[in-house]
Structure 1
């Protein structure tokens, strides 16, 4: 009150009443009455709150006490502030202010559970205060209790729908849970209420990128960089988006000004390491990852990236450092860091041929992702049935139109050889490689699943919008590959909207495919079947069943291309592929490992090597620890 005039104090108190923070509103009204005992408006306001001057602050200490404790904390005397707060709680056991202090102080000293309990007390004594629910949500988020945190944040939004901060924090949680569409909506709500909210812009860009809305993600980061040209998170995010569309040169260009102005930035240095991996400059990449580790930020991801570029030949200091760091994380907090470290150590022990230890690390890492992201195969079962039902309508359509582009769709299970085949095809002088594009799913998923009505107009819309986006990636060439594996779901829709398109469906030893999916760090719920070997095998059987149905209703429309036969007869299978694509033979297609384009997938480093025969046998090293989960799968 000492810093507010009477009109300002009354205005602030009125706003607090509207937001539900009655405790602080009462305090301000009482302060007004202390200065002007007969102030009519303040008296009426207190009366409406059901409070009278003699009892309204029975549960709250005086303003001077609250201010003194706050000043102690700001001065860095956390212990003293906490001691004073505990002493006051004996007198005012239901004080929202004091319990809020306890939450803040416990959080500051790392006592997360105590902080959460204190914040819960605040919401119980002042359930209509949006700020209290926001603080509880933040504490729960910090302890990775995502579902409970989301409930608290939604309560804050319900109490104060024009408050941007809960929308932002909820967006962060949804982003971590890989619920990208919901995260995008939450960030947009935050920005609707606070258009200059830079952190929300960065969160939105991240969610858009992870949802594979790459063009929009770049636009979002550019909006941040217009406001703050040296923002390291935005610069690193923009670079990562360029990496996702196989453009490491633009990624490096986005990073250079950030690194120049912020040479110690962990975000920028980690991303530069990823750029060097895409450019196959592995020594430079390793140096970047080591710098990130030494600075103590994003350590789990940096160790995982380091393990991917380094071949371990013996137990060394890096292995010791990884195991020490994993032990320091504990078992409940830092779940993402923990899963990153488990995958890193799985790679190290595989290099050292200690397959049982490697298997246990990869099993634990996947189990954490399942716990964190909550994949349920029943969702995919339901989706597949919807796709089958709608396909019967789609096959009766064949939309045609003028275009200079020939799309080549390369589909199949992830880790079935789609990246290698794109490298082969894009080694041809008439072919541009677009990598894994999300456009078919983003534009056409509702159509393919029956949520939108199947019609010629809908298919024409899909066709025109997709070809417009494909042209951007064509480099002026007539053929463009799109190697999004999960487009296998949409083959009937693709055949209807692009009757001239070529569709190559990859086939590979099912056991090698399932193992490779389980092995990869696929931290996305849409690939959540890979978090468990038995679930991966079940999903593969569902995939095979869906492909058989597509072949029944679209006989001869798709080329099934066998990865394992390619490794046995590279030239014969490559000629078969070129004939199907109606491309003239060029010797360069026999040297996909010399293709200079980067591949932003789990196969990036593998496609830099000549084709070899034993790649589908890797799973056999781990077979003794699988409990027969692959029994019955086709070879």
Structure 2
């Protein structure tokens, strides 16, 4: 009798779910489960409903309960894998999704989710192969072409990515996400007119897409008569005060009013956008203080004499460009990548992803410990992982630039694991750097310090102290390049940079703005322009608002 009742409750919940009545659906799914706790479909669909409501931790538990009562069910394995991927646990997700596909090799949703999880782990070749298999099964499924394009884009194959996005658009001419992604690919290639057209096509389909308005604002130089400003202001008024979409629009409007030199209005929007973004990320500077303290403590130990990693030949010599975000790291990469023997790989996450797993958090936020035996293994693992990354890139150039700025945290590890590596430290005026960070809505969630003036300055002070520590620990191994000196004496500073890296002179490095290559960072527009002076003075337009920043830097 209970089984029939549970099924009836489940069917009522499913109908409510399909009609979008999520609160009522949840009530009936839970009644069905209470009636029969072993009824796996109710647990599974409860998980689906919780995903729809963005309650991902609860959805995980629901799928785990479903799996306990239906072991090996590929649908449940797929759903659990997907929600773990959405929660940033992609390694666990990959294992579950492969298990689902062992039972049903042609399970399209599982193939799509597996491709997404592999791509997020940087396993782009595997992800590409999975998407191709899925496309063979469903060649007219536009989302598969979109996801393939995103993976190709992340792996630096932008022309192929554009082909995939265009195919998605051909299959679904109203696919706003595909237009947006194609716009991003065009922008990274420096094809700004094509990028702007793609963004505008996306907005014709979905006028409320805040992320597209933000992207388009970065390509425009606003004038008083630009109707886009009024469009964004009207859209801003439609969102709740705490809606994350407001943050993107605020950053876009701040850019517009900065162009118009209406600095008070610009800062009004910038302050609101940063407030919303800071609330969303809930950053705590003490976590980074603890991490830096741990690293300095470890590398300062007299007993810390573990050997450098084995010096088996790497496919390429890595050049790491480190420093604060917005300090000129993209400019230096563009200069180096203009050399005939250098490939610019952009911001590779290999080092951070490899070493973060070596951090073991203690019982409180302020307790982080790295054990020496784990560290030694991490150094060996980093070399193996980086060897795999370079092998996957498979580029003929002798040198590869990795310009992930916050690799500054891991300089000691890099020099232990990759003794042949070159470290270039890009340094810029603290006030200019911090202000440029505050103006930027970063696509990644990894820069939580970037949205409060005091946090930016606090992190800058941490960075400055740590770089002094690395210079003292590894004298002569790190080359510091001052941004302002580079803009004042371009040829001289470029000569010195190339000499440190072991590169002969190449005049193309002076005309870096003409180099055709993908640039995927927030500086994609700037590096297509000639070197110019004066950008480090722009913070002065907002000086009256910057006491929290300036006081923290001074201290």
TM-score bin (small chain): 0.7 to 0.9
Cα distance in structure 2, aligned partners of 1:221 and 1:605:
31
Q: Give the superposition deviation at 1:421.
A: 0.3
> Are the aligned partners of 1:422 and 1:483 in contact in 2 as well (CA < 8 Å)?
yes
> Are the aligned partners of 2:458 and 2:553 in contact in 1 as well (CA < 8 Å)?
no
1:560 counterpart SS class: strand
Q: Give the superposition deviation at 1:620.
A: 3.1
The residue that corresponds to 1:294 in the other structure is: 204
> Are the aligned partners of 2:456 and 2:549 in contact in 1 as well (CA < 8 Å)?
no
Within-5 A mapping of 1:216-295: 216-295=126-205
Q: Give the superposition deviation at 1:305.
A: 1.8
Distance change (3 Å), C-alpha of 1:283 and 1:124: same
Partner of residue 295 from structure 2, selected from 375, 387, 390:
387
Cα distance in structure 1, aligned partners of 2:234 and 2:443:
23
Cα distance in structure 2, aligned partners of 1:306 and 1:208:
29
2:331 counterpart SS class: helix
The residue that corresponds to 2:13 in the other structure is: 100
Q: Give the superposition deviation at 1:503.
A: 0.9
1:469 counterpart SS class: helix
The residue that corresponds to 1:414 in the other structure is: 325
Partner of residue 496 from structure 2, selected from 572, 576, 580:
576
Partner of residue 230 from structure 2, selected from 295, 299, 320:
320
Q: Give the superposition deviation at 1:557.
A: 1.3
1:504 counterpart SS class: strand
Does 2:460 align with 1:549? no
Cα distance in structure 1, aligned partners of 2:553 and 2:157:
38
Within-5 A mapping of 1:623-634: 623-633=543-553
- Size of the aligned set, in residue pairs, is 543
Cα distance in structure 2, aligned partners of 1:452 and 1:186:
32
Greater Cα offset, 533-542 or 495-504 = 533-542
Within-5 A mapping of 1:386-535: 386-391=294-299, 392=301, 393=304, 396-397=307-308, 399-403=310-314, 405-446=316-357, 450=370, 453=373, 459=379, 462-473=382-393, 475-535=395-455
Within-5 A mapping of 1:203-222: 203-222=113-132
Distance change (3 Å), C-alpha of 1:324 and 1:212: farther
> Are the aligned partners of 1:395 and 1:492 in contact in 2 as well (CA < 8 Å)?
no
2:238 counterpart SS class: helix
Within-5 A mapping of 1:295-374: 295-296=205-206, 299-314=209-224, 316-331=226-241, 335-374=243-282
Q: Give the superposition deviation at 1:412.
A: 1.8
Cα distance in structure 2, aligned partners of 1:138 and 1:305:
32
2:400 counterpart SS class: strand
Distance change (3 Å), C-alpha of 1:237 and 1:547: same
Q: CA RMSD in A?
A: 3.5
Structure 2 unaligned segments of length 5 or more: list them: 361-369
1:410 counterpart SS class: strand
Does 2:510 align with 1:602? no
Cα distance in structure 2, aligned partners of 1:384 and 1:182:
28
Distance change (3 Å), C-alpha of 1:456 and 1:538: closer
The residue that corresponds to 1:41 in the other structure is: none
Q: Give the superposition deviation at 1:396.
A: 4.4
The residue that corresponds to 2:478 in the other structure is: 558
1:613 counterpart SS class: coil
Q: Give the superposition deviation at 1:430.
A: 1.6
> Are the aligned partners of 1:224 and 1:231 in contact in 2 as well (CA < 8 Å)?
no
TM-score, normalised to structure 1, is 0.75
Q: Deviations over 1:218-260 (max 9, x none)?
A: 3333332232234322222222233333332222233344344
Cα distance in structure 2, aligned partners of 1:148 and 1:363:
34
Distance change (3 Å), C-alpha of 1:513 and 1:123: farther
Cα distance in structure 1, aligned partners of 2:116 and 2:464:
34
2:497 counterpart SS class: helix
> Are the aligned partners of 1:174 and 1:182 in contact in 2 as well (CA < 8 Å)?
yes
Greater Cα offset, 431-440 or 367-376 = 367-376
Cα distance in structure 2, aligned partners of 1:131 and 1:211:
30
Cα distance in structure 2, aligned partners of 1:129 and 1:590:
68
> Are the aligned partners of 2:149 and 2:161 in contact in 1 as well (CA < 8 Å)?
yes
Q: Give the superposition deviation at 1:174.
A: 5.1
Rg (Cα) greater in structure: 1
Q: Deviations over 1:101-134 (max 9, x none)?
A: 6843xx73x6655555565565566655444444
Cα distance in structure 2, aligned partners of 1:570 and 1:406:
24
1:274 counterpart SS class: helix
Q: Give the superposition deviation at 1:137.
A: 4.1
Does 2:118 align with 1:198? no
> Are the aligned partners of 1:205 and 1:218 in contact in 2 as well (CA < 8 Å)?
yes
1:548 counterpart SS class: helix
2:518 counterpart SS class: coil
Cα distance in structure 1, aligned partners of 2:217 and 2:107:
37
The residue that corresponds to 1:13 in the other structure is: none
1:399 counterpart SS class: coil
> Are the aligned partners of 1:128 and 1:159 in contact in 2 as well (CA < 8 Å)?
yes
Within-5 A mapping of 1:44-83: none
Cα distance in structure 2, aligned partners of 1:241 and 1:574:
34
TM-score, normalised to structure 2, is 0.85
Q: Give the superposition deviation at 1:423.
A: 0.7
Cα distance in structure 2, aligned partners of 1:452 and 1:529:
29
Q: Give the superposition deviation at 1:277.
A: 1.2
Q: Give the superposition deviation at 1:210.
A: 3.9
Distance change (3 Å), C-alpha of 1:174 and 1:515: farther
